[in-house]
Amino acid sequence: MNNTDAQIGMVSYGLYTPAGFETADGIAARSGLTPDEVSALGVERKCKPTPEDQPVTMAVKAAKQAFERAGGIKPEEVDLVLWTGEEYKDYIAQTASIRVQEETGCRQAWAFDLVDQGVTTVLGLRIARDMMIGDETIKTVLLAGGTRNVDLVDYTNPDTRFMLPFSAGGGAVLLRRGHDRNILGDIELTVDSEMADEVYVPGGGTEIPFRADNLDSKIMFFQTPRPEKVKTYLEDRWPQALAETAQKVLAGQIPDYLALRHLTPAQRAAVLDRLGVGPEQSPALDQWGCHGTNDVLLSLDLGLKSGSVKDGSRVVMVSGGIGFTYAAALIRWGSFKG
């Protein structure tokens, strides 16, 4: 494999967001907070899913958009489909990637699901890149995933208030080996394993299966067994870990654009300050809410539409999720032959 063939480039991406929105006033009314308190969480409004906006359905819509933008790549050219959405999806124990594969017509591919909470899109870039480099039979990969973890948020629980920005949507990426645009660079992941069991949904697993006597109870929503520990972690470690993970791929340089996951204004300011990035290089997502793993694609889309991302831009995608886990990917945007 020559150097050009070893390049992995992003051919296109797709996004789907529900048309409806829930405003800060609406969130405040449901949660018992004031609109100002909701705004302090980084939400002026957020996408509101309908019953038709299921995770796989939204991922398929995003994937079809990615194909429309791909300049002639056909679904039957895809060698591998990766689910890069959330663990909570249409059905329990569903292999969502295979459903995406069928719905998009990628019938020559094989497929499997990835789950890494809020960083699965960036993890998917890493897995796809490494697999394409290691296996010459894999030339084209589709990443697709949807999220509506907002269903798992109890608006009235003060311990999980930080999850009120959760929204819903779908995202997809088409990658190709030997592509000479939007080249993937270094991709790094960080895990704080001591936080593994600090945020989770108690019900529905093997420990506490759903039964007639526990349905419609708090076990169906995210819980924090030690809320003070989580609160301190989010205030101190969360923005620090995001910035540290980004710095791993930046190698001392400042990015031209930071495709950053949804954060509160205070957290976002701390990350941007640490990385030396101005707000014009990394827009807030307060008009969209938190789309989890797809935040980085949403931010990239905003940067392209505003002109902040252009040929030659060093774009860094940075995300984080409960677990707690973090990921960053460097992309040289535009035409590049190495």
Note the pLDDT tens digit of each residue in 241-278: 999 999 999 999 999 999 999 999 999 999 999 999 99
For position 5, what pLDDT does the model report? Answer: 62
Looking at the structure, do residues 141 and 194 belong to the same domain, yes or no?
no
For position 6, what pLDDT does the model report? Answer: 75
Looking at the structure, do residues 10 and 96 belong to the same domain, yes or no?
yes
Please tell me the pTM assigned to this model.
Answer: 0.95
Q: Which of 134, 156, 179 is the last residue of a domain?
A: 179
Looking at the structure, do residues 161 and 234 belong to the same domain, yes or no?
no
For the record, the structure tokens of 32 come out as 């018992």
pLDDT(1) > 80: no
Q: Long-range contacts: 312-316, Cβ < 8 Å, 24+?
A: 312/256, 313/256, 313/257, 314/253, 314/255, 314/256, 314/257, 315/255, 315/256, 315/257, 315/258, 315/259, 316/246, 316/249, 316/250, 316/255, 316/257, 316/258, 316/259
Say if CB 258 and CB 282 are below 8 A apart: yes
Angle between helices 55-68 and 96-104 (to 10 degrees): 40
Domain of 90: which CATH number?
3.40.47.10
Say if CB 148 and CB 90 are below 8 A apart: no
Mean pLDDT computed over 213-235: 95
Q: Which of 119, 149, 179 is the last residue of a domain?
A: 179
What's the structural domain count of the chain? 2
* Eight-state DSSP code of residue 309: S
Mean pLDDT computed over 307-316: 96
Core vs surface per residue 173-190: b (16+ CB within 10 A) or e: bbbbbebebbbbbebbbb
Mean pLDDT computed over 302-330: 97
Looking at the structure, do residues 70 and 200 belong to the same domain, yes or no?
no
Looking at the structure, do residues 254 and 123 belong to the same domain, yes or no?
no
Q: Which domain holds residue 195?
A: 185-335
For position 4, what pLDDT does the model report? Answer: 54
Q: Which of 179, 203, 229 is the last residue of a domain?
A: 179
Looking at the structure, do residues 46 and 161 belong to the same domain, yes or no?
yes
Cα distance between residue 104 and residue 68, in whole Å: 11
Token look-up 């969502």 returns: 96
Query: Mind listing the pLDDT tens digit for each residue in 20-73?
Result: 999 999 999 999 999 999 999 999 999 999 999 999 999 999 999 999 999 899
Mean pLDDT computed over 175-199: 96
For position 337, what pLDDT does the model report? Answer: 45
Percent of the chain at pLDDT > 90 equals 95
Looking at the structure, do residues 161 and 242 belong to the same domain, yes or no?
no
Query: Mind listing the pLDDT tens digit for each residue in 146-174?
Result: 999 999 999 999 999 999 999 999 999 99
